[in-house]
Amino acid sequence: MTGESLVLKAPDSGSITIANEALARVMFDGREYAATAFEQLQAAVTARAKAEAEANRGSFFTQFTGTAGLGFSMQETTSSSRGLTADVNLSRANLDEEGEAAHDETGIIFNQSYTRFVSHGGPDQGENSFSRDLSHAMRIHGKWLVFGVAAMDHAPAEGLDLLQLHAGGLCYTAWNHDGNRLELKGGIDFSTRSFVDPKFNVNQMGGIVEVDYSKTFDGGLMLKSNYRLDRAISHPEVVDGKGGFSLDAPVTGFLALRVSFNHRYMNAVPHGDKRNSFEASAGLDITLGSGNTSSTKGNRGTAKAKKK
């Protein structure tokens, strides 16, 4: 601490360095501070950041942001299918009292599709399928969070009547900088799998691992990737995997073009059904809600004063 300069840092906007001799006065929140009163100014900035973080927190059901999309999909599994898809993706992140990282995060994903599929050697049929995901994570220390997930899937083209999963565990934020975010999750789960052929139905308890990665490029192009692997403990022969990636390219301020690819693996399936399912889709996303700019994933922060 040389006392020669004042540095104002905002993680989303870089930093500003001002030499002390250039400071006749500093105005903050309608109050004047002398250039030498650095500690007093720093305390005022920190207090403002804490107050803003508390205000951002709000109630659980407020300030969700996300997208709603409509598109066309092609799927190849035991059956080949083509159809329309609709989805809603919502998320909400609260800042901690320092205004730098998420205190807790909630995600809601809803996907619905109507497809015409042909079972190989069978008649052309129309079918609805859906998936729903609800997740919540709370920061406990530094980069560590605890999380809970509830998910449901109905995919008759894959022979899956209903899969219900409830899981919880620990999440580690390995990277969250410059538009890059990488999270690693591990925990335990309980799931029920019901097939069109009930002889293969099973209730199981197992371990779950999940990887989430997102990157925002210059120009607003966004890459999102996720994969979840579930290995049963009660039924060691049962392994499930689900995930994929998507690219969103902004068209206007609220409209984006999206392409995505998804994969599902189930090793314990009825005889005649394939273990792997692949789906490609393309469509448009519309931005929902304005939320709070400091509540979005990625770089988060409120201005800091720092002396060096």
Q: What is the CATH number of the domain that holds 274?
A: 2.40.128.130
pTM: 0.69
Instruction: Answer yes or no: do 105 and 200 share one domain.
Output: yes
Instruction: Answer yes or no: do 246 and 137 share one domain.
Output: yes
Q: For residue 254, is it within any domain? A: yes
Instruction: Answer yes or no: do 182 and 264 share one domain.
Output: yes
Task: Give 29-73 pLDDT, tens digit per residue.
Answer: 666 655 555 666 677 777 776 666 666 555 555 678 889 999 998
Task: Give 1-28 pLDDT, tens digit per residue.
Answer: 345 566 666 555 556 666 655 555 666 6
Instruction: Answer yes or no: do 226 and 286 share one domain.
Output: yes
Q: Phi/psi at 204 (nearest 5 deg)? A: -145, 155
Instruction: Answer yes or no: do 143 and 36 share one domain.
Output: no
How high is the pLDDT of residue 282?
95
Task: Give 249-275 pLDDT, tens digit per residue.
Answer: 999 888 999 999 999 998 888 777 788
How high is the pLDDT of residue 43?
72
How far is residue 77's CA from residue 152's CA, in Å, rounded to a whole number?
Answer: 19
Instruction: Answer yes or no: do 173 and 36 share one domain.
Output: no
Q: For residue 281, is it within any domain? A: yes
Q: For residue 250, is it within any domain? A: yes
Average pLDDT in the chain: 78
How high is the pLDDT of residue 6?
61
Q: For residue 295, is it within any domain? A: no
Q: How many domains does the chain have?
A: 2
How high is the pLDDT of residue 116?
76
Instruction: Answer yes or no: do 165 and 229 share one domain.
Output: yes
Q: For residue 127, is it within any domain? A: yes
Instruction: Answer yes or no: do 186 and 147 share one domain.
Output: yes
Instruction: Answer yes or no: do 86 and 207 share one domain.
Output: yes
Instruction: Answer yes or no: do 11 and 74 share one domain.
Output: no
Q: For residue 186, is it within any domain? A: yes
Q: How confident is the model at residue 244 (pLDDT cuts 50, 70, 90)?
A: very high
The answer, yes or no, to whether residue 302 has pLDDT greater than 50, is: no
Q: How confident is the model at residue 144 (pLDDT cuts 50, 70, 90)?
A: very high
Domain extent, residue 11, equals: 5-56+300-307
Q: For residue 262, is it within any domain? A: yes
Q: For residue 109, is it within any domain? A: yes
More confident position, 48 or 282: 282
Instruction: Answer yes or no: do 45 and 193 share one domain.
Output: no
Instruction: Answer yes or no: do 73 and 14 share one domain.
Output: no
